Amino acid sequence: MKKSAFDKGNKNIILNLCDRPINRITSIFQNAENSFIIGSYTCGNYFEYLINNIDVTFLKDKDFDIVYPVLPEHKLILIDDAKALKLCDMAKNVVVNDYGLLEYFYGKYNLRLGRILLREYRDRRYNAYENSEYSSKIFDIISDLNSRGFDINATELDMAVKNMNADINGIKRYFHFPLRQISASHICEFASINVPIEKKFVPDQGCAYQCLKTMIYSDSGYVKIGKNVFDIIDSSFLENMREDDFVIYNDIGELHGYFSSSV
């Protein structure tokens, strides 16, 4: 983007408020001039917490998207939860992160492909790869979905490398910045806090929402939020963006309040 991407009120900037405490979301909502996204990309526990606790009347007339995570089998009931569907009805877009949910919601809401669907290698430890030219797998994903009868018009992207080619005609692109997802898991180390050793590290286990209080930050520039590991990229990754692209923005300054652990 030629202009400053992060000017307050820039309509191409979407504030990422996924996996945040409800009181933090509502606090930011009150002063935000940007649109925003809520929900979770990976955690069914958080998603259930969100839909059971957020005041939907507060969201009235707000410009927001709702993100559905990849739900484990015992949480699939949340797909048709009345409160969750109410949020879908109110949201501008519904972000889906698995193909089953894409098929289930197709034709009911404005859908966007979520970042979890794009599984690409990202590792800044290898400079040659980080600075190479790379064609995103999103071309193959959208081509395959089109052949199956899905008309896809929006997708999220994490920059695999600085010179990633993902220039798809007719597709709205939403780039995550500055937190680039490195990995995601069904196992949450935060959920294993104060759990007996034999019950630790169980996929999709219940929790006391410990991740709402702590995020792990390393001096080498990696961040762990819930089940996700991110690295922090700089604005050089956005140099080839189009003027009509969107940025899904995580405010590092806002996140610092959660960085109570450093490794």
Domains (range + CATH), the chain: 13-179+233-252 (3.20.20)
What would the two tokens of residue 47 be?
């998603």
At residue 198, the pLDDT reads 79
* 17 pLDDT more than 90: yes
Tokens standing for residue 125: 């430890």
pLDDT confidence tier of residue 257, bands split at 50, 70 and 90: low
CA distance 50 to 38: 9
When pLDDT is averaged across residues 216-226 and rounded to a whole number, the result is 84
- Residue 169 Cα distances to 35, 139, 154, angstroms: 24, 10, 11
pLDDT computed for residue 247 by the predictor? 95
Residue 256's pLDDT is: 62
Check residue 167 and give its pLDDT: 84
Mean pLDDT of 41-60: 91
Tell me the C-alpha distance between 166 and 164, whole Å: 6
Does pLDDT of 262 surpass 50?
A: no
Taking residues 212-235, report their average pLDDT. Answer: 86
Entry pTM: 0.88
Is 127's pLDDT higher than 50? yes
pLDDT of residue 102: 96
Residue range 198-217, pLDDT digits in tens? 788 777 777 878 888 878 88
**pLDDT category, 120, cuts 50, 70, 90?**
confident
Q: How far is residue 149 from each of residues 10, 155, 250, measured CA to CA in Å?
A: 34, 17, 33
